[in-house]
Structure formats: structure tokens, C-alpha cells
Amino acid sequence: MEKCRLFFYERGMSLKRIRFVHAADLHLDSPFAGLRKLPPALFERVKESTFRAFKNLCDLTIEKEADFLLICGDLYDGEDRSLKAQVRLKKQFERLQEAGISVFVLHGNHDHLSGSWTKLDMPANVRIFSERVEAKSFTAKNGSKVHVYGFSYPKRHVLENKTDEYRKTGDADFHIGMLHGYLEGGTKMHQPYAPFALQDLLEKGMDYWALGHIHKQQILHTHPYIIYPGNIQGRNRKETGPKGCMVTEMDPLGTHTAFYETADILWEKRTVSVKGANDFNRLYTVCRNALEEERKEAQGVFLQLDIKDPDLLDDEALGKVKNGELMEVLQEGEEADRNFVWVHRITLPEDAFVSARDDGFILQEMKKTLAQLEETTVDEAVSPLYSHMVAGRYLDLDGDEKQRLLLEAEAAVFEKLKGRGKR
């Protein structure tokens, strides 16, 4: 194929060619409410992360001299579209305008068109899709003609398959479909908005399908490409790994696409084996090494450590895992670093609280009861505090914290039963 390209170039023949960047799910100004307990400097960095990732995206688009940028929905996190998010979005769009780069935008379930917000006008290079599937045409500097198809969510819940409304029209060198939607049979973690089957998209004869909605990067099909780029910045411990966008080049001979990272902060998770590290000192060293291996050049990392074989630990070491001391010493001094690695969670296998030898009747019953406890149990237990005049003001437990309280309670009960604890 490269030979064919050379053939064209050597003869000075014009080859239709475009380069674009495909991103989705910016979720600008995500509140990161569950992370409010972080040291202030770290929390500030986290709150800025969606904006920083978006700036990285625009830097990359300019650096690659792209013809245009596609953003496939969920630009804003909230349907109220904070003014701060709009101002920051606009500022970057203006940079793209100065560089002569167009932007195609559609809105998704998070930033649908019927939310109430103070509307800030966007610069003229930004072309926003309306609630009906429509085609927008674009001519690149080299004369290549492109049709881009898409629609914005008129309301939060778009539950019907919209692919029928996509029609390839007119003569263009390249046809690109944009869609914020859910691949039928896909992950249960996302709501089934604007569902589609792969076959629905293939039948349309597009040269590229730019998708949004699922936060994990996935190439669903290669000829033609059908791609979820994932979000540009992970927002919680479930959104692990690199986050970014696709940079795509198309000419009549084919399409080439590659993933580029944009995230300022990464969420990672790794298993730590404690074999040969039974006391606290050695456990600390093993965890410290795991932490250093995760350190990036300029990005920050939130790290979850899953401890394997905790039975091998002595009582003191296990105690310091459970009471949070290990986590605390691992966090020491990290918040000031640009490339911090912040251990935010250390887990033990579920049965780490009970060893096989004393798993008697009482423990069995206790385990059953504990398994039935839910977050609502915590709500009930702390409800008198909520109505307390002073305490109520400081209480604001999210799901993670309730889970943590339950785990701590569970650990305390088992400690007592095993006669291991000194509490």
C-alpha cells in the first residue's frame, strides 16, 4: 500500500487525504465528589484533570495539523453545563480556530439539549449537530471533501435505535458517522442509550464510525473502523488504564488510526504478592517497589493494591494493613509531586479475616449475616447523627465510604471472634 502512495506522490498526482482526531466523553468539570477527603493540593489537581486532559487533546490536534476534531458527546459532565466548563471549552476551541481546525460536536446523555444552562456562544469553527440526524459537509485545505453525520440527544433518555436515520448522501471523498450510543450486548456498566448492532452500522457504507459513550477504548471493527476512543481522563478507580483519543488518517487506499494518551491522572490497580515478605518492613518494601513501578514521567497515578496470600503475613503486618497504617506511610510525601503515585485503596481477599481452621458454625452464621449488610445498614446506623445539629453538618458519606465502614465493622467482628485483636 505504501508503494501505491509513493506512486501517486512521485507523479505529483493529488491524493485525497484527511487527518482528524476522534475523541468523546470529555466530562468537563466532573466534581469528583468521592475524593474530597484527599489532601487539598491533590484534590485541586484531580478537579483540574478533565480540563488538563482536554487541553492535551487540543495540543495534540494542533501538533498533528489535523483537518478537524470530532467530539462524540458528553462534553460536559452535568446537564447544567457549568459556565466554568463552557468558558474553558470555548478557549480551547478558539485556539483550534486560530490554527484553522474545525470541530464537529454532538451532545450525549450527560449534556443533552434540554438541560437548563446559560448558553455561551462557541466560535465559528465549531459545528454542533442538532437533534435530527444530519449531514455536515467539510472541505479540507487540499480539496478533499468530507460528509460528517450525527445527531445530539434532545433529552437524557434516547432509548431507540437511531441508525435507520443515518443516510450516506451526496458526493464526498469520505463519509464519517458520529454516534453517541451503546453497542447491544455490551458492558452492563453503561446505560443502553441509542443502542445499535454492529451490522446496523456496517450497512450504512460509512468509511469510519466515530463512537462515544463507553469510557473504555475499543476498536469494534477494522474495515471500516468502528471505534470507541474511551474518555479522555479516567474519573474513578473503575476507569483504569490509559485514556485518550484516536488520530486517524484516511486516503482512498485505506485508513490508519492510532491511540494517543491525553489523561493527566491515571487510575491503576495491581496485585501484590507477599510471598517472602511476612513482616511489616518487608511488606512495606514490596508495596513501595510496586508503587515506584507505576510512577509515570509527568502524569499522576491513583493506585489500588490488592494483597495476595495475606495468610503469610504475621499479625503485626496484617494489623497495619487493616488499620490503614500501611496506606498512610505509602502516601507519605506523595501529594506534592507532579508525578505522584497515591495509594488510595489496599484490599485483602474477602476471606482474609477468617482462616480455614476456625471456620466454625458461629463464623459461618456471622458471615451470612454480614453478607446481607448493605449501604442502607450504614444509613440506619448513622441516621441519629444526621439529625444531630452539629454532626449533621460534617456528615456526608458516599458509597465508597459506606462500603469502607462496613468492611471495617466486619473486620472488627472477626478480630474479636478470633481472639486475635487487642481492641
Instruction: Please name the amino acid found at residue 284.
Output: Y
Which CB atom, from 19 or from 27, has the smaller least distance to Mn ion?
A: 27
CB of 27 to Mn ion, least distance (A): 6
Angular region, 254: left φ>0, alpha ψ -120 to 50, beta rest: left
List CB contacts of 126: < 8 A, sequence separation 6 or more: 93, 97, 102, 103, 105
Candidates 8-16, 17-25, 304-312, 353-361; binding stretch for Mn ion (CB under 5 A): 17-25
Candidates 68-76, 162-170, 330-338, 367-375; binding stretch for Mn ion (CB under 5 A): 68-76
CB of 350 to Mn ion, least distance (A): 31
Q: Which residue has the cell 503515585?
A: 341
CB of 12 to Mn ion, least distance (A): 45
In the list 25, 77, 79, 207, the residue contacting Mn ion (rule: CB under 5 A) is 25
| Three cell numbers written together for 296 | 509515570
Q: Does 29 bind Mn ion (CB under 5 A)?
A: no
Q: Does 251 bind Mn ion (CB under 5 A)?
A: no
CB of 207 to Mn ion, least distance (A): 25
Q: Does 74 bind Mn ion (CB under 5 A)?
A: yes
Q: Which residues of 353-388 are buried (b: 16+ CB within 10 A; e: fewer)?
A: bbeeeeeeeebeebbeebeeeeeeebeeeeeeeeee
CB of 180 to Mn ion, least distance (A): 8
Partner residues linked to 68 by β-bridges: 20, 102
CB of 190 to Mn ion, least distance (A): 8
Q: Does 239 bind Mn ion (CB under 5 A)?
A: no
Which CB atom, from 25 or from 29, has the smaller least distance to Mn ion?
A: 25
Chain positions 118 to 137 lying near Mn ion, rule: CB under 5 A, are none
How many residues are there in the chain? 423
Measure Cα distances from 133 to 122, 129, 130, 233 in Å. Answer: 21, 8, 7, 28
Q: Does 111 bind Mn ion (CB under 5 A)?
A: no
Sign of CA dihedral 263, 231, 55, 77: negative
CB of 25 to Mn ion, least distance (A): 4
CB of 74 to Mn ion, least distance (A): 4
Q: Does 67 bind Mn ion (CB under 5 A)?
A: no
Q: How many residues bind Mn ion (CB under 5 A)?
A: 2
Q: Which residue has the cell 487493616?
A: 322
Which CB atom, from 107 or from 175, has the smaller least distance to Mn ion?
A: 107
Taking a C-beta distance cutoff of 8 angstroms, is the pair 107, 73 a contact? Answer: yes
**Can you tell me the distance from the alpha carbon of 410 to that of 413, in angstroms, rounded to the nearest whole number?**
5
Report which residue's Cβ sits closest to Mn ion.
74
Candidates 25-33, 128-136, 199-207, 268-276; binding stretch for Mn ion (CB under 5 A): 25-33
Which CB atom, from 147 or from 215, has the smaller least distance to Mn ion?
A: 215
Q: Which residues of 144-180 are buried (b: 16+ CB within 10 A; e: fewer)?
A: bbbbbbbbbbeeeebeeebbeebeeeeebbbbbbbbb
User: Does residue 174 sit in helix, strand or coil?
Assistant: strand
Which CB atom, from 62 or from 158, has the smaller least distance to Mn ion?
A: 158
* Residues found near Mn ion in the complex (CB under 5 A): 25, 74
